[in-house]
Homo-oligomer: A and B are copies of this chain.
């Protein structure tokens, strides 16, 4: 399933972990502006030279801190498209509602708005995370679970857009059934009757 990397020196693993955890703490407390290599060094005790050995700049470090817990939401691939999508969107909601990824995400959006380099990096981050859903929908269109001319990018936005909107914009509570409702509305919206 995954490439095998040569085992890293445990001391290196330990200091990298400390740096990433400190970065996430600073992000939670102070937002993007609070994360400088100096601040990470001061709190983590890891030397600046060590930090720069692993990350070329604070943007790279920030992106790594976001991906620390590998928050890629997978989409299953069974014969039941609706069930696959519902499960995937429920996972996304759980992810965004938990402690790991969700509370840091607004800092990423904010930094992307102001900083060109960070925007480029975070677009790649998001693209990677959108891919499993796009792949699932594209296969559904190829196998005629969905109509062959389905606009999968539009459908993907219709499926995850309302989730991000409620979590970060309107901040409305999401009922347990909300992911299913969103999926059902979107599927009906593209004429799926499976």
- A residues at B contact (CB < 8 Å): 28-34, 103, 106-107, 109-114, 119, 123, 126-127, 130, 151, 153-155, 157-158, 160-166, 168-172, 178, 181-182, 184-191
Contact = CB atoms under 8 A, between A and B. Distances in A.
Q: Which 8 A-B pairs have the closest CB atoms?
A: A189-B189, A161-B162, A161-B161, A161-B165, A33-B33, A185-B189, A110-B110, A157-B162
Give the number of times this chain occurs in the complex, counting copies: 2
29 contacts: A29-B114, A30-B114, A31-B33, A32-B110, A106-B106, A106-B109, A106-B110, A106-B113, A109-B110, A109-B168, A109-B169, A110-B110, A113-B168, A127-B170, A153-B172, A154-B181, A155-B185, A157-B165, A157-B166, A157-B170, A158-B162, A160-B165, A164-B165, A164-B169, A184-B189, A185-B186, A186-B189, A188-B189, A189-B189
Given A162-B157, A186-B185, A171 B110 contact: no
